[in-house]
Structure 1
Amino acid sequence: MTTSAELLPATSRALLHRIAVAQRDGRAPSLVAAVARDGELVWTGSRTSVDGHGPDENVQYRIGSITKTFTAVLVLRLRDEGLLDLGDPLEKHLPGTGAGEVTIAELLAHTGGLAAETPGEWWERSSATQRPTLADVLGEQPFRHPVGRRHHYSNPGYTLLGALVAATRGVTWEEALRKEILEPLGLSRTSYEAQAPHAGGWAVHPYADVLLPEPDQDLGLMAPAGQLWSTARDLAVFAAFLVTGDDRVLSTESVREMRTPAAPVLPGEWEASYGLGMQVLRRDERTLVGHTGSLPGFVAGLWLSEEDGLAAVTLVNCTSGVPAATVAADLLKIVAEAEPRMPEPWRPLPEVDASVLELAGPWYWGTQVVALRLSADGGVDLGPAAGGGRRSRFRPNGDGTWTGLDGYYAGEVLRAERRHDGSVSHLDLGSFVFTREPYGADSPVPGGVDPEGWRGLPR
């Protein structure tokens, strides 16, 4: 990732002011932040010092649960290689855990009903030797809720996923992470253990401006849930990957799947959901995807907005006080509003299939008018001609049909049915019939069309 000084001075100052207020009000020993746009680092900023020097985008901080997103990428890689299916019960690939009925997808989305934390001591401040086996991580009663019924964040769940990766690959989770993600993406400053220069973790007294060092624990089996150290620059690179994918690591389609909500939304939390290893948040009329993180001595936040082409990272070395995720979201908003993304210029299609072009325009599902539009990538869009309603994008299958990518019709097949003379009769989409006229006399509408046609209401 290259650094580009493209932001306007006023925007850069607004970003610096936001982190300055956060550091002062949160009483943080240090804070570093970064903003990337369309895959390029366009701004970094920091406040105070680490080891007597101002921290920059290459100083390491612990990132806590942002580690879970890395673990999820490793699991999706196994799925894409055909080594497992997300619908598989854990027991099929990792027997004997006592939580084997939970599916891999449920573990990724925190819907497996497992406890939020481990039994016994506070695991984030305890030595890894306190949890030498998965039985020590899960305890005798690992479940708190029925499997698959609700979202309940579970750190032990990601321990199971890390163990699944290790068992399937035949190497440690750390080695799989390094070879399959860190090295291909060039994340040289992301590591299992701290590498200089790095920040130390501190607790700040709530009523006095004094510090207490927090312990730096090796999380052992819990590492896939929160072990990693990283930098603002590396996380910005990782965020860009989570938008576009990288065929050396994970495809565009698979990272899009990670960003898609996969957990039921709880009452009172309608603006937040969870995908496969990623948090999904609706804030300031934009969708943010990423993850938050915390460990004793550190808080972190990473958000990306695909529609704005932006990602923001905030890393802080104090146990509490600075809402790192909120600050990252604010940084993203500042840039999005001050310097909105320049739209791509409109260009005509280089070529178009005449048999597809004739499908463009209005269609009727009953009396509702929808429009079919051709997209630049060779697919089609189908949605309301005006106002709200069902809308989906479709990719071509190469045989004159299309498969839905999102919305109500995701996974459904759209086809144009033709008459004997080759003319288009109607569109068929998951048994729904779309015709060129609303209930035309010769339209093949299920149930038939009244032969007397349209009429006024008798008085």
Structure 2
Amino acid sequence: MTTHETPEDLGLLSTTRRALNHRLARAQSESRVPSLVAGVARDGEVIWEGALSALEGVGVDGDTQYRIGSISKTFTAVLVMRLRDEGLLELTDPLEKHLPGTGAGQATVADLLSHTGGLAAEAPGEWWERSPGTLRPELADVLGEEPHRHPVGRVHHYSNPGYTLLGALVEEVRGEPWEKVLRAEVLEPLGLTRTSYGPQEPYARGWAVHPWADALLPEPAHDLGRMAPAGQLWSTTRDLLRFAAFLIQGDDRVLSAASVREMRTPAAPSLPGAQESAYGLGTQVLSVGGTTLTGHMGSLPGFLAALLAREDEGLAAVVLANTTSGLLTGSLAAELIGIVAEAEPSMPRLWRPMAEADPRVLELAGAWYWGVTPYGLHCGADGGVELRPLKGAGRAARFVSAGDGSWRGLDGYFLGETLRPVRDTEGAVTHLDLGSFVFTREPYAPDSVVPGGVDTKGWRAAGELG
């Protein structure tokens, strides 16, 4: 068995490195994986890499390609979001508007991105993951005569054909093959030189491991053809860690930070009734131990993959293996992130004062009341504001200036809603209007503009009731 350690590992404590190496070794041994590579990055910089190979004479490292399966979907989703940002389509557009005649045209672009289009999970006919794409040359071969399993927009149902349609949408709008568009618009700008349509040496071969014997069987690695946007790509831990950083921070050459945040925002539960798993626009969103992880898992015969990121710690982990089954790559990636976050949590950002104190913003700071519930509004050095309940749980949210004196919600219950200071004829703020909710400086003050009005007698003691 060979191992691999890089100079970047020196950025971690020796105890943390040992914990990561031990967890990787235990996963390889217990799951009987022919080879296993993993990496952790913080703020886009690789801080640890691990690699194990059980095959004599076959070394692997962070530059070895593995097939990444459905992580390809996230790349396809980035291309679709670029089309949206360029004004070439809207997420609310029905597919029929841009790609007519598929039989699945009632589903919107957003439905397909979030797997709520009601489409079948798999293509009809022979198992597409273990058969050549030449068996499905047309979209009709991917969708079949009855493409739907559920009403459009009613339920989350993971669909590989849905992402085939999104790849075809990209080709229709761009007038170029999906692979060519991906390379020009995502891979090259982000410097993902080891992510490709087909395998490029050095790359791992895919294996199945016998369930009851320590024996191997080679798995086929077909060109998926039309299904490529759902699972074709090959990549490395180093490339995928760079991609993970992009999915958190954005890159204006590809997608803005706001657009990748939109991709990470839950759009549908991953399973009906699931509370700890959701799906955004091309990304999986997981709640693990009270923290949120985003990314995607992938699998194809002979390969398993996971890419997960934790935004609050600036951490990302990638796990790649060349085995058909047996290893829970998503759980392993989450554990690797957890090891680093617990042993070496990120240093809090240095507090800095405002560069410029705007009086019209500062006058909003302080206590506000929604009815009788106290809230605090804080004005940050970044120019944004944050509204949070002062007692217990409630509808907290951050807001960014809209440039006209109002503020747009960035998260929570008020995501996308407008916070508007209302002023009197003298220009003084009388109350805040937040999506029709009124926040006042005093709880139910008689002269407040509160929907439904306020009893003119005001607050009273027990003896004054009646």
TM-score where L is the length of structure 2: 0.96
Instruction: Between 108-117 and 431-440, report the one with greater CA deviation.
Output: 431-440
Q: Report the Cα distance in structure 2 between the residues aligned to 1:363 and 1:58, rounded to whole angstroms.
A: 54
Aligned partner of 1:428 among 425, 433, 441: 433
Contact residue 76 and residue 167 of structure 2 kept, 8 A: yes
Instruction: Between 307-316 and 445-454, report the one with greater CA deviation.
Output: 445-454
Query: Aligned-pair distance for 1:267?
Result: 4.5
Structure 2: which 5+ runs fail to align?
A: 1-6
Pair 1:200 & 2:205 matched: yes
Cα 1:59–1:51 change in 2 (3 A) is farther
Aligned partner of 1:95 among 100, 104, 125: 100
Q: Report the Cα distance in structure 2 between the residues aligned to 1:18 and 1:121, rounded to whole angstroms.
A: 38
Query: Aligned-pair distance for 1:268?
Result: 4.8
Q: Report the Cα distance in structure 2 between the residues aligned to 1:125 and 1:311, rounded to whole angstroms.
A: 30
Instruction: Between 246-255 and 433-442, report the one with greater CA deviation.
Output: 433-442
> C-alpha root-mean-square deviation of aligned residues, in Å?
1.4
Cα 1:255–1:50 change in 2 (3 A) is farther
Question: CA-to-partner distance for each residue in 1:370-391, whole Å, 9 max, x for gaps?
Answer: 1111022211111202221011
Aligned partner of 1:121 among 106, 118, 126: 126
Q: Tell me the secondary structure at the aligned position of residue 295 of structure 2.
A: strand
Letter in 1 for 2:400: R
Letter in 1 for 2:209: V
Contact residue 361 and residue 372 of structure 1 kept, 8 A: yes
Query: Aligned-pair distance for 1:52?
Result: 1.7
Letter in 1 for 2:404: D
Pair 1:184 & 2:204 matched: no
Contact residue 50 and residue 199 of structure 1 kept, 8 A: no
Alignment of 1:290-369 (within 5 A): 290-369=295-374
Q: Tell me the secondary structure at the aligned position of residue 5 of structure 1.
A: helix
Question: CA-to-partner distance for each residue in 1:86-110, whole Å, 9 max, x for gaps?
Answer: 1000010001111011101000000
Question: CA-to-partner distance for each residue in 1:136-188, whole Å, 9 max, x for gaps?
Answer: 00000111111111110000000000000011111100000100000000100
Letter in 2 for 1:184: P
Pair 1:171 & 2:171 matched: no
Which residue is equivalent to 1:217?
222
Query: Aligned-pair distance for 1:321?
Result: 1.4
Query: Aligned-pair distance for 1:457?
Result: 2.8
Instruction: Between 367-376 and 196-205, report the one with greater CA deviation.
Output: 367-376
Letter in 2 for 1:426: H
Aligned partner of 2:159 among 154, 158, 164: 154
Q: Report the Cα distance in structure 2 between the residues aligned to 1:109 and 1:51, rounded to whole angstroms.
A: 42
Aligned partner of 1:418 among 402, 423, 429: 423
Letter in 2 for 1:118: A
Q: Tell me the secondary structure at the aligned position of residue 175 of structure 1.
A: helix
Q: Report the Cα distance in structure 1 between the residues aligned to 2:405 and 2:137, rounded to whole angstroms.
A: 56
Which residue is equivalent to 1:388?
393
Q: How many residues align?
A: 458
Contact residue 306 and residue 329 of structure 2 kept, 8 A: yes
Query: Aligned-pair distance for 1:123?
Result: 0.4
Pair 1:243 & 2:248 matched: yes
Aligned partner of 2:403 among 371, 379, 398: 398
Query: Aligned-pair distance for 1:421?
Result: 2.6
Which residue is equivalent to 2:4?
none
Q: Report the Cα distance in structure 1 between the residues aligned to 2:283 and 2:435, rounded to whole angstroms.
A: 30
Instruction: Between 160-169 and 40-49, report the one with greater CA deviation.
Output: 40-49
Q: Report the Cα distance in structure 1 between the residues aligned to 2:76 and 2:236, rounded to whole angstroms.
A: 18
Contact residue 155 and residue 272 of structure 2 kept, 8 A: no
Contact residue 426 and residue 435 of structure 1 kept, 8 A: yes
Query: Aligned-pair distance for 1:28?
Result: 0.8
Which residue is equivalent to 1:270?
275
Which residue is equivalent to 1:456?
461
Letter in 2 for 1:131: R
Which residue is equivalent to 1:252?
257
Which residue is equivalent to 2:90?
85
Instruction: Between 197-206 and 372-381, report the one with greater CA deviation.
Output: 372-381
Question: CA-to-partner distance for each residue in 1:59-99, whole Å, 9 max, x for gaps?
Answer: 00000000000000000000000000010000100011110
Contact residue 294 and residue 308 of structure 2 kept, 8 A: yes
Q: Report the Cα distance in structure 1 between the residues aligned to 2:9 and 2:90, rounded to whole angstroms.
A: 41
TM-score where L is the length of structure 1: 0.97
Q: Tell me the secondary structure at the aligned position of residue 16 of structure 2.
A: helix
Letter in 2 for 1:192: Y
Instruction: Between 375-384 and 218-227, report the one with greater CA deviation.
Output: 375-384
Letter in 2 for 1:386: K
Q: Report the Cα distance in structure 1 between the residues aligned to 2:299 and 2:269, rounded to whole angstroms.
A: 24
Question: CA-to-partner distance for each residue in 1:192-223, whole Å, 9 max, x for gaps?
Answer: 01000000000111111111100110000000
Structure 1: which 5+ runs fail to align?
A: none
Q: Report the Cα distance in structure 1 between the residues aligned to 2:461 and 2:223, rounded to whole angstroms.
A: 78
Contact residue 90 and residue 100 of structure 1 kept, 8 A: yes
Letter in 2 for 1:409: F
Contact residue 43 and residue 315 of structure 2 kept, 8 A: yes
Q: Report the Cα distance in structure 2 between the residues aligned to 1:435 and 1:202, rounded to whole angstroms.
A: 65
Letter in 1 for 2:47: V
